[in-house]
Amino acid sequence: MSVQPLRWEDGKLLMLDQRLLPRRVVWLTLRTHADVAEAIRGMAVRGAPAIGVAAAYGMALAAQAGADRQVAMAMLAAARPTAVNLFWALDRIAGLPSWEPDAVLAEARRMEEEDVACNRAIGRNGAALVPEGANVLTVCNTGSLATAGYGTALGVIRAAWEQGKVSFVYSCETRPRLQGLRLTAWELIQDKIPFAGIADGAAGSLMRAGKIDLAIAGADRIAANGDTANKIGTYSLAVLARHHRIPFLVAAPSSTIDPKTASGAQIPIEERDEIEITEIEGVKIAPEGCPVVNPSFDVTPSELVDAIVTEKGVFRAPYNFAL
Amino acid sequence: MSVQPLRWEDGKLLMLDQRLLPRRVVWLTLRTHADVAEAIRGMAVRGAPAIGVAAAYGMALAAQAGADRQVAMAMLAAARPTAVNLFWALDRIAGLPSWEPDAVLAEARRMEEEDVACNRAIGRNGAALVPEGANVLTVCNTGSLATAGYGTALGVIRAAWEQGKVSFVYSCETRPRLQGLRLTAWELIQDKIPFAGIADGAAGSLMRAGKIDLAIAGADRIAANGDTANKIGTYSLAVLARHHRIPFLVAAPSSTIDPKTASGAQIPIEERDEIEITEIEGVKIAPEGCPVVNPSFDVTPSELVDAIVTEKGVFRAPYNFAL
């Protein structure tokens, strides 16, 4: 079982700095909710479920410091726009009857434990959809690092692997931030699951060559109609999977479903800094003055999603998550 | 008009080292055909037409040194497997009645001049297919740097831009070697054509958002049935273009058409070193021991190619380039 990205210790939140992985394993010590907001914004922690739990711990730090609850919530909510789990977690803390530090911390801990249990349930539910001997394609990082532990889409792969159903995993490197090559590869190596990293552009030709039986992605927000926002490139994979008649699954906790968002058109898509494209690890790769467009997420319309796997079960089109 | 990548001077071949662009402009001095073979293999020069002309100059160096014609040909032919222009150029030199150095050099110079003229004709023929105000997506580098000058797919974009038809260009960065971000961006900046570099995974969502009117790629080999080998990721773009009902064009000199290759299944696909994926500019990005798969090219079946633009005219499906 691979590392968990968050740890509460002596009134502080320790956070594995995922920007430095796999080269360096560095734990940040976060003492205030502002530290947590900055860590979320800067992507020291990423992955929708992990962001949610980190924000809950951020609220525990705010309560401990006697900060104003509304102000702390607003600061954490502004850290990133697309993943709904962030707002879901803050709403849950806001709904507590008390702003007493121990109560807030207990709730954050509960959310962390629940997320791991939830991911194990997603894994079980999803593994049932994985054919024997499957070659599975995935994108970005949806593993232990993206959650409180175990993972969503990578949790499904883990569970199916534990059941002997997975032959091989292809991990799209996932530019610009290369989470598939840096983080998913790191987790797969630790779990000794056979895999290869690939350039994002290689997914189509692998599918055409019959080397992919199943594609599975996580989600940052799922609209009421099943439209799914996830890491940029996910939509392209869904189109390619449909073209090749390969099942395309989304795995996420039910907290990723946002019944208040009617369709994908209403999901705000974060545009991140150009430097994510123009530089890699501080090395400039684009020419001076090169303009870039860098949307961090895209939306996959529900008709391309064969199933949405949650801890509560597997949903299939037509999706209707409206309250 | 941007830089030409090859220059014959004082009995030596000067070659712009494209591995160092855009950060440094360094000209290699190549004195032997072995130097040229190594430069092709190492991708100091790349792009099917440029490889062809470079190989012809390599033969001129061999003739000048009094080397064995067959041995020199074999060495150059072994440098890279996929682009047919390499073999086409060597065959043309092999067909000369004489191995006299001046005759070989004259033929190499003729091939270089012909390639520029050919690209201008491709540009004219292709520009006629570009709608007014078009937003055009392209991949890899198919410009001056990939040819003897002007370019193939980028030549079409240049010609259409000169005619006032192009609004904007999206350049897929084209992992692993990032030719779209390093080289195409460099050429577009010089030509002052408005553009943005994008992560390869962003192409699908741009198409879905209606931001792409036309996609155009080069080719490393076109089979008799129109199946086209090109930079890895091209096939995915062709599938995405078809899904969104966007025309997908291939632009290449007729020397890229290989009537002896019946279909794409017979085109050898070069698998390049893992380091192209695991490191960028010498910086390791993948974890230690990360396995990768790195096919350099993919094949787009002819049914996804709306038109093949050559200097001899525009071809449309069903293609039949058999002799």
What is the complex's ipTM, to 2 decimals?
0.96
Sign of CA dihedral A102, A105, A111, A115: negative
From the number of C-beta atoms within 10 Å of its C-beta (0-12, 13-18, 19+), residue A127 rates as: buried
Q: CB B175 to CB A176 under 8 A?
A: no
Report the alpha-carbon distance of residue B9 to residue A139 in Å, rounded.
Answer: 49
Q: Note whether B247 and B135 are within 8 A (CB).
A: no
Reported pTM: 0.97
Q: How far is CA A207 from CA A161, A203, A243, B141, in A?
A: 21, 6, 9, 25
Q: CB B288 to CB A202 under 8 A?
A: no
Q: How far is CA B175 from CA A143, A200, B102, B295, in A?
A: 24, 8, 40, 11
In B, minimum Cα distance to A236 occurs at: B204
Q: CB B294 to CB A204 under 8 A?
A: no
Beta bridge partners of A135: A168
> How high is the pLDDT of residue A320?
95
> How high is the pLDDT of residue B130?
98
Going by C-beta distance under 8 Å and a sequence separation of 6 or more, which residues neighbour residue A314? Answer: A125, A126, A128, A129, A307, A308
Residue B21 C-alpha, separation from nearest chain A C-alpha, in angstroms: 8
Look at residues B48, B41, B49, B2 and name the one whose alpha carbon lies nearest to residue B21.
B2
* CA angle in degrees (0–180, nearest 5) for A265-B173-B234: 85
Report the alpha-carbon distance of residue B27 to residue A206 in Å, rounded.
Answer: 37
Burial B173-186 (b: 16+ CB within 10 A, else e): bbbbbbbbbbbbbb
Which of B200, B220, B227, B258 is labelled catalytic?
B220
At residue B83, the 3 state secondary structure works out as coil
In A, minimum Cα distance to B178 occurs at: A285
Task: For residue B283, list chain A residues with Cβ-Cβ distance below 8 A.
Answer: 280-283
Report the alpha-carbon distance of residue A254 to residue A133 in Å, rounded.
Answer: 28
Q: CB B285 to CB A178 under 8 A?
A: yes
> How high is the pLDDT of residue B2?
62
DSSP state of B198: E
Residue-level pLDDT, tens digit, chain A, 323 residues:
568 999 999 999 999 999 999 999 999 999 999 999 999 999 999 999 999 999 999 999 999 999 999 999 999 999 999 999 999 999 999 999 999 999 999 999 999 999 999 999 999 999 999 999 999 999 999 999 999 999 999 999 999 999 999 999 999 999 999 999 999 999 999 999 999 999 999 999 999 999 999 999 999 999 999 999 999 999 999 999 999 999 999 999 999 999 999 999 999 999 999 999 999 989 999 999 999 999 999 999 999 999 999 999 999 999 999 86
B4: number of Cβ within 10 Å:
18
Q: Note whether B106 and B148 are within 8 A (CB).
A: no
Q: Note whether B71 and B45 are within 8 A (CB).
A: no
A78: number of Cβ within 10 Å:
12
| B47-78 pLDDT tens trace | 999 999 999 999 999 999 999 999 999 999 99
Look at residues B51, B55, B43 and name the one whose alpha carbon lies nearest to residue B18.
B43
Active-site annotation holds for A220: yes
